[in-house]
Amino acid sequence: MAKTKTKMEFAFPLALAFSFIFMPRVFSMARDEHDLATDEESSLMTYIVHVQKGEHNDDSVQSKDLHSWYHSLLPPGTNQKRITFIYRNAINGFAVKLKPEEAKDLEEKEEVVSVRPEKILSLKTTLTPTFLGLQQGVGLWKESNLGRGVIIGMLDTGIDPNHPSFSGRGMFPPPAKWNGYCEFKGQRTCSNKIIGARNFVKNYTSSILPFDYSGHGTHTSGTAAGRPLEDASLFGNAKGTAVGIAPDAHLAMYKVCTSFICFDSAILAAMDAAIGDGVDILSLSLGGDSSPFYDDSIAIAAFSAMRKGIFVSCAGGNSGPRFFSTSNEAPWILTVGASSIDRSLVAIAKLGNGKELDGEAIYQPKSFKPKLLPLVYPGANGDHSSRQCSKGSLANVDVKGKIVLCEEGDLYPDNEVKANGGAAMILMNQRDSGFTIVDKIPVITATQVSYKAGLAIQKYINSTSTPKATILFRGTFIGNPLAPAIASFSSRGPSRASPGILKPDIIGPGLNILAAWPESLDKHYPSFNIISGTSMSCPHLSGIVALLKSSHPDWSPAAIRSAIMTTATTLNLKGKPIVDQRLSSAHVFAIGAGHVNPLKANQPGLIYDIEPNDYIPYLCGLNYSDKQIGLILNEKVKCSEVKKIEEAQLNYPSFSVSLGSTPRFYTRTLTNVGPANITYYLKVQHPFAVNISISPERITFTELNQKVTYTVRFSPDQEKHRGNHKFAHGSITWLSQSYSVTSPVAIIFQ
């Protein structure tokens, strides 16, 4: 238990920092987000207990009887209130507060499958519908009825039910299958828009309502399904009609996070409840580090949800641009990366030599006079804290009345510049951020520039004894031809948990997204905000899934995922390959299948479908034990009686192949969801130093839902020396006169 305790001790500060990187300032914080742990509870940890299914926890057993039975498994005299959650749909089991020695004793009981400490996870649009090709009364928005009748379950920090983005006016009541309820009371009420709202962090805080005290949950909910609101903006910028991707879909909020962190046991409880409530989609803009699927509550609960036909969409993580940094990697989950949109809030840094360098700023005060001011770089002496304008670092630096160049890294460098009398700030990116600019709200006039532009400013400062600069605010610009570009922070594959499955699956808008913000957080704060992260790209995809489910109610979660992936685009608005933060062609481990194209996803032609039981041979192929796979399936399994398969053999819409000196063979099965009589031809983009051969090279379908299997041979190209290349990528496309069905190919050289 000592090893686990060490892991938990480091989890909280890591999660706290992770949340703040992409969360804006919150000017007022509600008191009821403070922990209220008693002296007794402070010595306890929360454990998630998986219990074998039997007569005691059959579906017909009442909750109070189930609670009594679970309590009987605990040491005599244990307070019943130590059991915090009962799970019935996602898993069989419960969450309980125990001492380490009590947890060890509990695990020895015959009825108990496993006992593990809970993890602490972190939180991971006026323009985006138009950017994605969605238009009122046309195409997918017309065919899907704007998501009408679909229920999106959001797991997040709560929601502001009074925000006009969530008006229920003109909406239909929820479908008859809805079994959830609303915990808001008084003036904070649910409606035909927000049809359910529940709080699952009440065991950690005094809050008993699922209200949003950080803004994150309101923002993600508005992105997925906000109603149309005209004249939305932030400080007059990014102005337009704010509307979610599926504006007529219903929302159910499950509060599982405080303002900063998310609790494993609460996430599992919320997913358990959502399955029983009857949601169609689960959207989770949160996650933790990569873990084996049997040790990942989100993966386990998502498997149960998928079996019920519920689609699960998750943020892929904000740990880019490092490889092997994705989270939420299970193949039954849609893992979403973050990209830019074609809007920029232009604020140019003009130097004394006349050179102008592009930057961005949310706050663009008209009172700032664009005259040249003295420019200073505190980091010229090489001091780390001075470079980043950290707290206290400018006390002995003359910055009064000057423009200060600071390097990205400290949370609030603008506070330090303002405190010491600086007139304005130019914030330059770190090397890893490159050209990705994450817009923030400063407390001082400022612009943020790329790493390359920052180096140019430093060079200019060193070239003259009287460096000067100013900031030219140009407002909102739409039409950046490099969009979509992959955001620097978006996590990259390969997957650690399962390298044979390409992750992320897809990318969607996640950089500088404008959406709803709780109006009552601070009376001086606007009702919309711009924030960034895969937390923002995930609800975009959840909204698109809602449209597709409404348009194709008979499609399985795997079918919808396939439609999204095989129709994605790998080109930007300029018609060139999508670029990364360096403006180089983005790697397949950054973009997965590419950028989502909702209109084409609605009519994919062919799909790669997967039945729930198809995952069992795949899991056995991961060499998990029967017990570990049983935790995922929530039932007993014997891999000795199953024909296991390699990871890359799963009928996934992409390929991730570990290739050495010998060829690898895999099959895929296509299902025709297009015209009854149609022929597809093959197009292959070969990865570097790899040959791909496919049989057959032409496929003809004669009826709807007909299935055809093809075989792929991946072999090393002996004439090409791959040198130090670790990865390569290509694609396999099936083409007809009307459809293009593409599977990305990732090669991991052994």
Enzyme catalytic residues: 156, 216, 535
In angstroms, the Cα distances linking 270 to 89, 204, 276, 478, 496 are 10, 15, 10, 39, 26
| Residue 119 backbone phi and psi in degrees, to 5 | -100, 160
End-to-end CA distance of the chain: 35
Unique residue bearing structure tokens 């010491």: 420
Strands 446-449 and 286-287 come out as unpaired
Buried-exposed string 408-418: b where 16+ CB fall within 10 A, e elsewhere:
bbbebbbbbbb
Which segments of 86-177 does DSSP mark as H helices, in order? 100-107, 128-131, 139-143
**Identity (one letter) of the amino acid at 747?**
I
Token duo for residue 76? 């005599």
Say how many C-beta atoms besides its own lie within 10 A of residue 650's C-beta: 22
Evaluated on CA atoms 296, 297, 298, 299, the torsion sign reads positive
Whether the Cβ atoms of residue 194 and residue 248 lie closer than 8 Å to each other: no
Token duo for residue 447? 């612009």
Q: How far apart are CA 722 and CA 713, in angstroms?
A: 19
Whether the Cβ atoms of residue 338 and residue 532 lie closer than 8 Å to each other: yes
Whether the Cβ atoms of residue 265 and residue 46 lie closer than 8 Å to each other: yes
- Establish how many alpha carbons lie within 13 A of residue 620's alpha carbon, considering only the half-sphere containing its beta carbon: 16
Whether the Cβ atoms of residue 220 and residue 229 lie closer than 8 Å to each other: no
In angstroms, the Cα distances linking 652 to 369, 656, 670 are 57, 10, 10
Q: How far apart are CA 496 and CA 345, in angstroms?
A: 37
Whether the Cβ atoms of residue 360 and residue 437 lie closer than 8 Å to each other: yes
Which segments of 239-294 does DSSP mark as H helices, in order? 264-277
Unique residue bearing structure tokens 């309980």: 96
List of residues 6+ apart from 676 with CB closer than 8 A: 701, 702, 703, 704
Unique residue bearing structure tokens 């051969």: 693
Q: How far apart are CA 58 and CA 81, in angstroms?
A: 23
